[in-house]
Amino acid sequence: MAKKNKPPVVVAELGRPETTAETAARKARDSRLYRQRKTVNNLVFSLLVTLGLVLVMYLLVPRGTDTFAEQSVNVAELAVEAAPSAGRTLAAPAVDDGWKAKQAQLRGGSGITSWQLNYTTADEAYAAVTQAFTADGDPVNDTWIAQQLEQQAPTGTEQLGGIEWIVYDHTDRNPGEANMLFGMQGTWGNDTILVYGTDTPATIRVLASQVAESLGEPDAVTAKESE
C-alpha cells in the first residue's frame, strides 16, 4: 500500500502553507534567536559565577576594626636592639599609661642619623622625640633642626632634667594643620634632642624629663667625641 503524502501544514498567520523560501527564512531566524538567547544566558551565567567568586573572596579575607588605633610598639626593646647600630644609648622614655608608641625607628639621610619616636598621647594628641647625631660627632645643622620643628622660631630657654632646652612655644597654631605646637630642643653629649607635639606644654615638658631620665649621662663614646 502506497504511503500517503502528508499535506503541508497551514501557518496560522499566513492562512496557507509556507513556501520553501519562507520555511528556510523561519529556520534561519529561529537559529539566530537561539544563538542570541544562548549568548545572553552565557553572559548571565558568567556574571553570576564572577559575583559568586567575589563573595567567596570577601568572606575569606579577614576583617575587623582598625588595629592601628590600638597598635603600640615596645620602645624600650627597640631602643636596646638599635643601640649597637647607633653606637650610643637611645632615648626610651617611660611614658604614662594611655600613651601608645606608634613608631620607634632609626633613620638616616643627609649625613644625619636620627632615632625617631612617635606617640599618640593619653589625650589623643601627637608627641614625638627625635635624637639626632652625625657620624663624625659634628653638631646637627640648624637647617635640619628647623625642618623637624616646622620652621618655627625659638621663644625662650629653660632647664629640665639636667638639660638646657630651647623652647618653641607656638600653641596658637592650628593642631589640625601642624605637628609642632610646643617643642623643646636640647643637647645630650653631641646629640641633638627634640621633644615636640600637639599636646599641652605641660605634657611635652613631662615627656622631655622622661627622655632625659632615660638617657642619663652621655655615653663614653659620645663624651669622648666631644673632647
Do 75 and 214 form a contact (C-beta atoms < 8 A)?
no
12-20 mean pLDDT:
66
DSSP output for 138-156:
PPPPHHHHHHHTTTPPP-E
Distance from first CA to last CA of the chain, Å, rounded?
A: 132
What pLDDT was estimated at residue 46? Answer: 74
What pLDDT was estimated at residue 224? Answer: 47
pLDDT at position 12 over 60? no
Strands (E) in the chain, as ranges, are: 10-11, 16-17, 100-109, 112-120, 126-134, 156-160, 163-169, 182-188, 191-197
pTM above threshold 0.85: no
User: 36-50, 137-151, 158-172: which range is least confident on average?
Assistant: 36-50
pLDDT at position 211 over 80? yes
Helices (H), 61-141: 75-86
Q: What is the pLDDT of residues 28-85, one digit of tens each?
A: 777 777 777 777 677 777 777 777 767 766 666 665 544 556 688 999 999 999 999 9
Q: What is the pLDDT of residues 79-108, one digit of tens each?
A: 999 999 999 999 999 999 899 999 999 999
- Rounded to whole angstroms, how far apart are CA atoms 11 and 15? 6
174-203 mean pLDDT:
96
Cell 553570576 belongs to residue: 48
- Rounded to whole angstroms, how far apart are CA atoms 155 and 201? 13
- Rounded to whole angstroms, how far apart are CA atoms 193 and 181? 17
Reduce the DSSP state of residue 215 to 3 states and report it: helix
Nine cell digits for residue 124 = 589623643
What pLDDT was estimated at residue 39? Answer: 75
What pLDDT was estimated at residue 26? Answer: 74
Side chain identity at residue 56, one-letter code: V
- CA angle at residue 165 from 162 to 167, to 5 degrees? 150
What pLDDT was estimated at residue 199? Answer: 97
Q: What is the pLDDT of residues 175-189, one digit of tens each?
A: 889 999 999 999 999
